[in-house]
Amino acid sequence: MNASSEPPSPAEISWRIQPQGDRCLIITFGDRIDASVGRTCLAAARKLRDAQLAGVTDVVPSFVAVAVHYRPDGVGGGPTCSALTARVNALLADGIPVGASAERDIDIPVCYGGEHGPDLDDVARAAGVTPDDVIALHSGPRSMVFMLGFAPGHPYLGLHDEKLNIPRRPSPRTVVPIGSVAVANRQTVIYPNRLPGGWNIIGATPLTLFDPAREPASLLQPGDSVRFVPISADEFNRIRKAQP
Amino acid sequence: MSLTVIKPGMLSSFQDAGRHGYQHQGIPAAGAMDERAHRLANALAGNAGDPATLEITLTGPTLRFDAPACFALAGADLGATLNGQDIAPHRPLVACAGDTLAFGARPANGVRAYLAVHGGFALPAVMGSESTYLRSGFGGFQGRALAKGDHIALRTPLAAHRDLKALRDALWNLRIYLPGTLGNPRRTAIRFLPGLHWHEFSEATRDAFTRSEFRVSPQSDRMGYRLTGPALALDQPRQMLSEAACFGTVQVPSGGEAIILMADRQTTGGYPKIAQIATVDLPALAQTAPGDTLRFALISLDDAQRLDAERERAFTQLHDALAPLRALLTPA
């Protein structure tokens, strides 16, 4: 974790661009999960998306990298890997506005423990703290959405306190209930659907994380700043009933 | 004004060229497994845009036209018949109300066929695409594969007063030249580019990947093809961070068996990536069936992009050449 809370200036950021086949570039900004590298990826992704480069269909940030998916135009044969690499390099060298645009602040209500969080006690034991401490560690500081992946609208958030640096469960569950909030490796995932999963479930949110009929379909977007808000089981039921 | 499903077939779902622009929300692109055949079917049905076609898998459906329509088939030869008569692939054809389209009259050659109708099927766009994402149940027709008794409306059926025999004759007299790069692919080896972690795999593994034969496992579907063959291993096993994956990314979980990510792939993956299939060979790959054997051969990035661009240009040219077809089908 970077000790400094200042966003790094572009001069300190370095990256490497590699082709992933003939229709994708991967731009790598670091080699381990870190809030500062994560913010750089999100800022670079935003800049590349806003540039609306010809032929580019998707810009996908992840923990330490940004993918640029593209396809040929059917006329001139472009964009080629080399031309697009040069264009991306020029855009990034011109400056990556880390922290320049306001993050969205989003509250995610979570009912911790009990039937919604069957692994809360295990997590507390592994972390060497009480279940209430786990809730405080998880819901106190804000978390950042590093990326979405694995399933539609499925976020990876972090980074949590070092005490929450616990491994995934030894064997994954074949089905995790919708809305489950689960931790491992100082990160949180939220299951937007009934899915298989190996993370430690400490609670559940009554919010609908993914709805293909909604715009945007995913409740959370890369870069969002999230606060987990502890709620009771009654509040959980009330909020879930009110979801469309 | 619709198509009625008499029998659904093994797996028939609507797919277009994919749901692009939403992968940063974790939303898979989905789309046709053999995008070339999907686009070819559309072009041959006189469609200018990219409406969804019906992706038909091995055992085809039985469908009844309840309205006259122009349609075309491309991709695998799954033994299609109209009212029991063999029909030509890669031609615009006319169905009358009551005609039955069926499959299975001949042994399958390939795995996936694409049925396009002129004007497209009346499907709602979900995030800009008519593709079905089966795993989450959205897009296409009610987010699922076809089922018996479904009625699929056609967006623009042929006008009731059309002289169908005259149209059929006119279509039959059209000369349609299909560039080689758009035809059904036959390849002895699937071409690939080194994956992001190619150099981290052992020399023996890299050698095995380029020289050995692999078999497509029965646990293969629209999401991924699992391969059985020599075990593949990194020199120094290590944890990878999740990052974006593509159609054709070949990843290797710790068990050592490769998985090629296909149309319904997740947007990101956390396994080491040994290879990336050249886009030009994805259609050939999508037409291989469980049990088939595969070989892989390296191609340079320049060559892969040149072949990919050539195919795209061939589509542009075909589209231009089919202007007379679209003129015949567009009501005056």
Size of interface A-B (CB pairs under 8 A): 148
Residue A99, in any domain of the structure: no
- B63 Cα to chain A: minimum distance (Å): 29
- B226 Cα to chain A: minimum distance (Å): 18
- B39 Cα to chain A: minimum distance (Å): 13
- Could you read off the pLDDT of B1-31 as tens digits, one per residue? 799 999 999 999 999 999 999 999 999 999 9
Annotate B253-263 with b (16+ C-beta within 10 A) or e (fewer). Answer: eeeebbbbbbb
Locate the chain B residue with the closest alpha carbon to A56.
B21
A210 CB within 8 Å of a chain B CB: yes
Residue A100, in any domain of the structure: no
- CATH number of the domain where residue B270 is located: 2.40.100.10
Residues B149 and B41 in one domain: yes
So what's the pLDDT on residue A5? 45
Residues A113 and A142 in one domain: yes
Query: Cβ A147–B22 below 8 Å, yes or no?
Result: no
- CATH number of the domain where residue A74 is located: 3.30.1360.40
Q: Where does a domain end: A65, A93, A121?
A: A93
Residues B170 and B38 in one domain: yes
Residues A84 and A117 in one domain: no
Residue B312, in any domain of the structure: no
Annotate B26-64 with b (16+ C-beta within 10 A) or e (fewer). Answer: bbbbbbbbbbbbbbbbbbbbbbeebbbbbbbbbbbbbbb
Query: Cβ A61–B24 below 8 Å, yes or no?
Result: yes
Residue B195, in any domain of the structure: yes
Residues A31 and A70 in one domain: yes
Residues B147 and B222 in one domain: no
Q: What separation in angstroms does the CA of B257 have from each of B31, B173, B220, B231, B251?
A: 25, 51, 13, 6, 9
Q: Where does a domain end: A35, A67, A93?
A: A93
What domain count does chain A have?
A: 2
Residues A124 and A228 in one domain: yes
So what's the pLDDT on residue A204? 98
Spans in chain A with pLDDT lower than 70? 1-11
- Could you read off the pLDDT of A210-221 as tens digits, one per residue? 999 999 999 999
Which residue blocks in B47-161 are alpha helix, DSSP H?
none
Locate the chain A residue with the closest alpha carbon to B309.
A77
Q: How far is CA A181 from the centre of its chain?
A: 13
Query: Cβ A21–B248 below 8 Å, yes or no?
Result: yes
Query: Cβ B316–A218 below 8 Å, yes or no?
Result: no
Spans in chain B with pLDDT lower than 50? none
Task: Describe chain B by its helix, strand, coil percentages, rounded to 5.
Answer: 20, 25, 50
Residue B274, in any domain of the structure: yes
So what's the pLDDT on residue B254? 87
The mean predicted confidence, pLDDT, of chain A is: 93
Residues A119 and A235 in one domain: yes
Residue B65, in any domain of the structure: yes
Query: Cβ B126–A212 below 8 Å, yes or no?
Result: yes
What domain count does chain B have?
A: 2
Residues A53 and A112 in one domain: no
So what's the pLDDT on residue A67? 98
Residues B153 and B97 in one domain: yes
Residues B177 and B205 in one domain: no
Q: Where does a domain end: A93, A117, A143?
A: A93
- A152 Cα to chain B: minimum distance (Å): 4
Q: Looking at this predicted complex, what is its ipTM? A: 0.96
Residues B150 and B241 in one domain: no
Token digits of residue A206: 């009554």
> From the list B28, B196, B305, which residue is nearest A80 (CB)?
B305
Residues A29 and A119 in one domain: no
Locate the chain B residue with the closest alpha carbon to A62.
B243
Residue B311, in any domain of the structure: no
Residues 6+ apart with CB under 8 A from B203: none
Residues B247 and B229 in one domain: yes
Range of the domain at B281: 190-299
Query: Cβ B24–A193 below 8 Å, yes or no?
Result: no
Residue B244, in any domain of the structure: yes
Range of the domain at A23: 10-93
Residues A214 and A120 in one domain: yes
Residue B239, in any domain of the structure: yes
Residue B307, in any domain of the structure: no
